[in-house]
């Protein structure tokens, strides 16, 4: 039986625009589809497609195939691509998410989901960024600067913000407190294990000298009873050559309380530093607001009136 004139039956090659539509559906994204090219000669010039020539390394090992001749760049490539337009703090947040144990879920009430597998290791991100820097790829230097503010195993966006604050230099508004691990399992001394009813803990932040910081997202301010419990707990740690500090939302939303917390943490780590200059103090206020939000009205009024830190 002859085919009707002008009709073609069976599979046919998809147009570039149609393949772009498939890729957008697979990635749950909106047009245009941003396509990475190894050179200018491969430009598509098609509807729903936005071509980008990438000067960084781009071999099969840097891609993940999705089928139908569609591939996406792996996270180290994506990270360096975004470094051409994102700033250092944004990139550090992204690196912590990629190498962390959470994923952003803006459609949910919580805003993120925990206990997920990392998308990349910091070593992979750093390795690719160094290769891109060697090729003088735009943004590679910024990518490496951002990775210096990132840590693996963060379990929430707020933990990530605290980590960035700890790692950022004092001159740029941070605490300049490096050398910590996040969510690392620690064996407790027998006395503490007996008191707490558990042999190990997984603190949010821990240093090799035995200092740990636990972020309590449920508390805005420490009540007198909670403060007494924390002090008793801290004394038990100190008796065993360790130390435990509790960080709350109330501290993060107050310039004065955060300064006090940093000083306390510096003492726990055995650090002796000069007081921050006026410029450093302003940089810290700016960074605190960016990472943790506008200072609470209560904290601001208390600071203006010279109120006691713990009241």
CA neighbours closer than 13 Å in the CB half-sphere of residue 220: 4
pLDDT of residue 187: 92
pLDDT in tens, 107-135: 888 899 988 999 999 999 999 999 999 99
Task: Point out the least confidently predicted range of 11-15, 87-91, 200-204, 280-284.
Answer: 11-15
Residue 23, phi then psi, degrees to nearest 5 = -65, -40
Give me the sign of the Cα torsion angle 93, 99, 102, 105.
positive
pLDDT in tens, 191-227: 989 988 999 999 999 999 999 999 987 665 567 777 7
pLDDT of residue 9 exceeding 70: no
pLDDT of residue 307: 54
Residue 1: pLDDT band with limits 50, 70, 90? very low
Task: Point out the least confidently predicted range of 40-44, 243-247, 299-303.
Answer: 299-303
Q: Determine the average pLDDT of the residues in 54-63.
A: 93
Placement of tokens 């009707």 in the chain: 4
Residue 10: pLDDT band with limits 50, 70, 90? low
307 vs 243, more confident: 243
Instruction: Give yes or no for a contact between 269 and 177, defined as CB atoms under 8 angstroms apart.
Output: yes
Determine if the peptide bond prior to 16 is cis (ω within 30°).
Answer: no
Q: Determine the average pLDDT of the residues in 281-295.
A: 97
Q: Note the pTM of the prediction, 2 decimals.
A: 0.85
Q: Please report, rounded to a whole number, the percentage of residues in the chain having pLDDT higher than 90.
A: 61
pLDDT of residue 5: 56
pLDDT of residue 142: 98
Residue 168: pLDDT band with limits 50, 70, 90? very high
CA neighbours closer than 13 Å in the CB half-sphere of residue 120: 22
Task: Point out the least confidently predicted range of 4-8, 45-49, 176-180, 218-222.
Answer: 4-8
Q: Determine the average pLDDT of the residues in 145-160.
A: 97
Q: Determine the average pLDDT of the residues in 187-192.
A: 91
Q: Please report, rounded to a whole number, the percentage of residues in the chain having pLDDT higher than 70.
A: 90
pLDDT of residue 219: 65
Six token digits for residue 121: 């290791």
Q: Determine the average pLDDT of the residues in 92-99.
A: 98
Q: Which residues pair with residue 37 across a beta bridge?
A: 53
CA 88 to CA 78: how far, in whole Å?
A: 15
Locate all alpha helices (DSSP H) within the chain, ordered by sequence.
Answer: 16-26, 75-82, 88-98, 122-134, 140-147, 157-167, 190-196, 224-239, 249-252, 255-268, 278-292, 297-304
pLDDT of residue 211: 96
Residue 290, phi then psi, degrees to nearest 5 = -65, -40
Q: Which helix (H) or strand (E) holds 186?
A: strand 186-187
Q: Which helix (H) or strand (E) holds 206?
A: strand 205-206
Task: Point out the least confidently predicted range of 37-41, 149-153, 168-172.
Answer: 37-41
Residue 58: pLDDT band with limits 50, 70, 90? very high
pLDDT of residue 306: 59
CA 244 to CA 5: how far, in whole Å?
A: 81
Residue 154: pLDDT band with limits 50, 70, 90? very high
Q: Determine the average pLDDT of the residues in 179-197.
A: 93
pLDDT of residue 233: 84
CA 202 to CA 92: how far, in whole Å?
A: 23
CA neighbours closer than 13 Å in the CB half-sphere of residue 114: 10
Q: Determine the average pLDDT of the residues in 74-82.
A: 97
Six token digits for residue 181: 């691990």
């Amino acid at each position: 039986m002859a085919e009707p004139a002008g009709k073609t039956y069976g599979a046919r090659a998809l147009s570039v625009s149609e393949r772009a539509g498939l890729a957008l559906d697979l990635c749950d994204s909106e047009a245009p589809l941003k396509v990475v090219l190894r050179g200018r000669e491969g430009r598509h010039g098609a509807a729903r497609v936005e071509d980008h020539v990438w000067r960084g390394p781009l071999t099969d090992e840097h891609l993940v195939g999705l089928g139908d001749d569609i591939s996406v760049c792996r996270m180290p490539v994506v990270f360096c691509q975004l470094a051409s337009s994102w700033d250092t703090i944004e990139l550090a947040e992204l690196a912590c998410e990629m190498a962390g144990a959470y994923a952003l879920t803006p459609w949910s009430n919580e805003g993120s989901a925990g206990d997920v597998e990392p998308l990349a290791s910091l070593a992979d991100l750093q390795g690719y960024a160094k290769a891109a820097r060697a090729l003088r790829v735009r943004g590679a230097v910024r990518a490496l600067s951002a990775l210096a503010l990132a840590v693996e195993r963060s379990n929430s966006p707020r933990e990530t913000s605290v980590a960035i604050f700890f790692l950022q230099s004092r001159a740029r508004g941070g605490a300049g407190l490096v050398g910590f691990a996040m969510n690392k399992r620690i064996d407790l001394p027998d006395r503490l294990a007996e008191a707490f009813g558990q042999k190990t803990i997984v603190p949010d932040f821990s240093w090799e000298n035995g200092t740990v910081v636990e972020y309590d997202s449920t508390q805005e301010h420490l009540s007198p009873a909670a403060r007494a419990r924390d002090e008793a707990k801290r004394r038990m740690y100190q008796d065993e050559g360790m130390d435990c500090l509790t960080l709350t939302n109330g501290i993060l939303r107050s310039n004065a309380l955060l300064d006090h917390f940093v000083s306390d943490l510096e003492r726990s780590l055995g650090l002796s530093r000069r007081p921050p200059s006026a410029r450093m103090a302003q940089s810290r206020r700016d960074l605190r607001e960016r990472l943790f939000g506008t200072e609470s009205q209560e904290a601001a009024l208390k600071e203006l009136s010279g109120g006691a830190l713990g009241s």
